[in-house]
Amino acid sequence: MPSLRIILFLLLTLHASAARKPNVIFILADDLGWSDTTLYGTTKFYQTPNIERLAKRGVTFTRAYSASPLCSPTRSAILTGLSPARTGITSPNAHGPEVILKAEVGKKGPPNEKFISPSVVTRLQTSYPTLSKSLKDAGYATGHFGKWHLGSEPYSPLQHGFDVDLPHWPGPGPAGSFVAPWKFKDFDADPAIPDQHLEDRMAKEAVAFMEQHKDEPFFLNYWMFSVHAPFDAKKALIEKHRARVDPKDAQRSPTYAAMIESMDDAIGTLLDALDRLKLADNTIIIFTSDNGGNMYNSVDGTTPTSNRPWRGGKATLFEGGTRVPCVIVWPGITQADTRSDAMIQSEDYYPTLRAGLELPTAADQLQDGSNILPALKGEPLPEKPKFQYFPHSPGVPDWLPPSISVHRGDWKLIRIFHGGEKEAHRHQLYHLGDDPGETNNLAETKPGLVKELDALIENFLTETKAVRPVPNPAFDPAKYRPELEGKSTMQEKKKSPPPKKPAAPGWRAAKCKGEVKEGIIHLTEIGDASFLGITAGKLSGATTVRFRIKAKGGNAHLDWLPDGPAGKAQRVDFTIKNEDWEEITVKVPATGPVGVIRIYPPPQSPAMAIDWIELQSEAHKTRVNF
């Protein structure tokens, strides 16, 4: 017969377990299209077994939308529950130097455009209530891992309610590459793992956060860098998928397939950790993407992906730009391995978590999203139109002038601001049930429905106080080219030769041609006396020079000039083993100021490429990322 003390202990343990708030994990893929996973039966080339594994634990949504066809607006909507129309964050400009906190009416437009786009907010203001702040106030440990792209200090995750931020990077994509070495400040690859993939490392750090906080509720915000450019991946995975390519398939990039596999592996790492830590039954997981798949860059001689059966892709308001994969797991709420056709959107996640977790809320807190708990339970959602506001014309395939769309049931209306005659708006109307590819514009045949849906748009813009595009007083009909709408202008830009610039700030490529491309300095037209040099600045005394180089294998050397360019060069030899990327370490036995460092390629090397260079003396360290 158990004692009363044991019975009381068991009851208190059960009560504590039942009372513990569920953990929250938000996994946001970057640029992952609706057809880039195996969830919807639209791909056989890309492989996502761990996303399928996640789907078996919860509900898969077939009509999930991002708030925008580009990343930063969607990210702001997830955190705030507010539409980009309200915040003014309508374009991914948060990595630039200009800080703009309020959208304003545009002042000037070129004569070939009928519109003037508004200015873009470039930082997520810290005054907004956010999901992370609400969870932190409710006692959650909060950690952000991966891409942010909503502003650097003082607008980083650390100012938006997160206790942890790795790699604390404000840029639009990974620093340099996905495969180590990377170029993040103070975030290096694991030296024990050669060619480590960034998502392997991010998942490892996320698991460490889970382990650290396994005995308390935590919010893990894992916003992946994958599968955004640059397009690179583990070589073995690229070759694996190269052997599987069907040249007739619109999805046929082995590099992109390898990137998706590493992304999926990272999700598997998180699921394995949840199971090992016995946290799966008390953890909410949301998985989705920030916008549709990329259809305008080139990799392996093709586009990264196809968003079939939808039209368009990233940076367009057609379905391919905003319909995204989505799985939600909420123990006790969702049923395992189920599907839902309910229409949901990025703005809905915060109000849903706020309601389901009873998070603290200010009485005057605005929300553009809806509580979708009924859909998670398999119940119908009250019909509510969904809006996407994108007042820009990016020039990608299937682009539109500044527009806004509304979905109501199977109907979708796109308003093109001032795209008609005499500054009137122009419209495109589609029935997605009959026309998923948005090929049959019904606007002229259903004027009554256009008027009805456009009134919804007008009310939405008024309610959100959106700063709208305005007519362009400098518009010249003679310069207007309507036939170019939807046609990519990116290739035309590539034909213009870029202005010549120095190889890299502070460096000089001597007796050869030097050019920086995608974070790597390339030396060509190399002769016997060609080198890459730098003034070492504050470096003094014995100095270690480390760099990542790709050149013809053989003997090479490094010169250093202790008294600057006029001094006598002293030489240190090193060897390049092969013609692949290789890290080299050279010891410079200086006793005073180092002066100038020069790196010479091996004799008869046709070219040399250097990714980064690090110089360290006893008192000073500097690293050059190109």
Residue 491, pLDDT score:
55
Average pLDDT over residues 31-46: 97
Average pLDDT of the residues in 291-296: 96
Q: What is the mean pLDDT of the chain?
A: 90
Q: What is the pLDDT of residues 488-541, one digit of tens each?
A: 887 544 444 444 444 455 678 888 888 888 778 888 888 778 888 877 776 788
Burial class (CB in 10 A: 0-12, 13-18, 19+), 273: buried
Per-residue model confidence (pLDDT) at position 523: 87
Which secondary structure element, helix H or strand E, spans residue 556, and what is its range?
strand 554-561
CB atoms within 10 A of CB 195: 13
**pLDDT digit string, tens, across residues 444-458:** 999 999 999 999 999
User: What sign results for the dihedral spanned by CA atoms 481, 484, 485, 488?
Assistant: negative
Checking if the pLDDT of 597 tops 90, the result is: no
Percent of the chain with pLDDT over 90: 69
So what's the pLDDT on residue 298? 92
User: What does R_g of the chain's alpha carbons equal in angstroms?
Assistant: 27
Question: Residue 4's pLDDT band (boundaries 50, 70, 90)?
Answer: low
Task: Sort 59 into a burial class: Cβ within 10 Å, 0-12 / 13-18 / 19+.
Answer: buried
The verdict on whether omega for the bond into residue 230 sits within 30 degrees of 0, i.e. cis, is: yes
Highest mean pLDDT among 106-115, 457-466, 494-503: 457-466
- Asked whether the predicted pLDDT for residue 550 surpasses 70, the reply is yes
- Decide if 610 contacts 546 (C-beta within 8 A): no
Pair of tokens at residue 226: 């994958």
**pLDDT value at position 148?**
97
Residue 372: the pLDDT is 97
Q: Which residues contact 494 (CB under 8 A, 6 or more apart)?
A: none
Higher pLDDT, 218 or 593: 218
> What's the average model confidence in pLDDT over 112-130?
95
What is the spatial distance between Cα 380 and Cα 374, in angstroms, rounded to a whole number? 6
Instruction: List the domains of the chain with CATH numbers.
Output: 22-83+124-380 (3.40.720.10), 507-625 (2.60.120.260)
Return the minimum-mean-pLDDT range out of 39-48, 131-140, 405-414, 481-490: 481-490
Q: 5: pLDDT confidence band, cut at 50, 70 and 90?
A: low
In sequence order, which residues have a C-beta less than 8 Å from that of residue 301 and are 6 or more positions away?
Answer: none
| Interacting residues of 331 by C-beta distance below 8 A, sequence separation 6+ | 22, 280, 281, 282, 283, 284
| Banded model confidence at residue 371, pLDDT cuts 50, 70, 90 | very high
Contact call for residues 289 and 33 (beta carbons, < 8 A):
yes
pLDDT value, residue 2:
53
Q: How far apart are the first and last CA of the chain?
A: 73
Give φ, ψ of 88 to 5 degrees: 80, 0
Region 177-187 average pLDDT: 90
Q: Summarize pLDDT for 344-368 with one digit per residue, the tens.
A: 999 999 999 999 999 988 778 899 9
Interaxial angle between packed helices 235-242 and 254-276, expressed in degrees from 0 to 180 and rounded to the nearest 10 = 120
Place of tokens 């950690």: 143
In sequence order, the 6+-apart residues with CB closer than 8 A to the CB of 128 are 79, 80, 82, 87
Ranges 75-79, 121-125, 173-177, 621-625: which has the least confidence: 621-625
In this prediction, residue 571 has a pLDDT band, given cuts at 50, 70 and 90, of: confident
Q: Treating both helix axes as pointing N-terminal to C-terminal, what angle do 349-356 and 71-80 enclose, rounded to 10 degrees?
A: 20
More confident residue, 118 or 527: 118
Residue 217 half-sphere exposure toward CB, CA atoms < 13 A: 21
pLDDT classification of 113: cutoffs 50, 70, 90: very high
**pLDDT at 197 exceeding the cut of 70:** yes
Dihedral of the CA atoms 372, 375, 379, 382 (nearest 10)? 50
Q: Give residue 12's pLDDT.
A: 44
CA gap 315, 321 in Å, rounded: 6
Bigger pLDDT: 250 vs 611: 250
Q: Residue 25: what pLDDT?
A: 98
Average pLDDT value for residue range 464-469: 97
CA distance 505 to 593: 21
* C-alpha span between 474 and 480 (Å, rounded): 12
- Structural tokens at position 495: 């034909």
| pLDDT for residue 8 is more than 60 | no
Which sign, positive or negative, has the C-alpha torsion 366, 370, 376, 380? Answer: positive
Give the three-state DSSP class for 17: helix
Task: Take residue 98 and report the two structure tokens written for it.
Answer: 């200009």
Out of 92-106, 250-264, 557-571, the most confident range is 250-264
**Per-residue pLDDT, 469:** 96
Q: pLDDT for 485-501, tens place per residue? A: 999 887 544 444 444 44
What's the pLDDT score for residue 20?
84
